[in-house]
Amino acid sequence: MQHDAINKRWFRKIGSAAAPKLQLFCFPYGGSGPGAYRSWQNHFGDQVELTGILYPGREARIADPLMIDIKKITASLLPSILPRLHRPFAFFGHSMGALISFELTRMLQAANKPMPSQLIVSGTGAPHIPERDPIHHLPDQEFMQAVIDLNGLPPEVLANRELLAYALPVIRADFTACETYEFDQQGGKIGCPLTVFGGSKDPLVEADDFEQWEQHAGDEYQLQMFDGDHFFIDTHRDQVLSCVQQRLDRVLVAA
């Protein structure tokens, strides 16, 4: 029973589907949780069930210790997600979520487990490119200003000192995880369709960094750029959702 409870802590249902043929796992960006995808719930109809991934140390898991290592987060998630991969599924991850969904796909591949029918990574450069300008080590005030400059905090958080005090360690832990991530060259290319979303005005990621994802793709690869900054998935939500739907439609037809 305790093991089942641990497994369930990772997952939050975002939207129900009457006749689901595909499960879309949504991996949040740093400092956030499954609520980042709440507005997606009514977009995909009755055939796609959305499940958000809840990282330790936030929302209902606030009592769980924060984790600052992408690979350790992924290794902790792996045994919990395996029982849920009994029907076709896809991964979507933005920024930190992109790295976690990518690493999880590699772990599934290495263990000869079911693979996503579509992996969509968004808002981060190719995994082999090291962080050029890390900020996770900055003093609190400088760190928060750097995050604000990225348009990374909603106004309600900035206006509320309690929320800001809660958010600071979570955001710093997530930036630490992303900025200290080291890509392991072993493992080969991804054995499932890979789609990359990028923002043309992203201050964190250069255009060439998005393009270099192709080095990690197998037979199917596509790059889709949006006219936005790092949080284009919010500012250009309808366009992003339309592109996600196009990728999933291919899976649904096959299913």
63 in any annotated domain: yes
Q: How many domains are there within the chain?
A: 1
Read off the pLDDT of residues 102-133 as tens digits, 9 standing for 90 and up. 999 999 999 999 999 999 999 999 999 988 88
Nearest one of 96, 94, 89 to 193, comparing CA atoms: 89
**Catalytic positions:** 95
Contact 74, 1 (CB under 8 A): no
Residue 158 has pLDDT above 80, yes or no: no
CATH number of residue 241's parent domain: 3.40.50.1820
Alpha carbon distance 140, 161 (integer Å): 14
Q: Does residue 166 fall inside a structural domain?
A: no
Strands across the sheet with 11-15, in order? 11-15, 48-53, 22-27, 89-94, 118-122, 194-199, 221-226
Residue 169 counted as domain residue? no
Q: What six digits make up the tokens of 162? A: 């309690």
- 3-class DSSP assignment, residue 195: strand
**In a domain? residue 72:** yes
> Is 164 part of any domain?
no
Task: Please report whether residue 221 resides in a domain.
Answer: yes
Domain-embedded: residue 177: no
Query: According to the model, what pLDDT value does residue 46 have?
Result: 84
- Domain coverage including residue 220: 2-129+186-247
Full-prediction pTM beyond 0.85?
A: yes
Higher-pLDDT residue of 246 and 16 is 246
Domain-embedded: residue 22:
yes
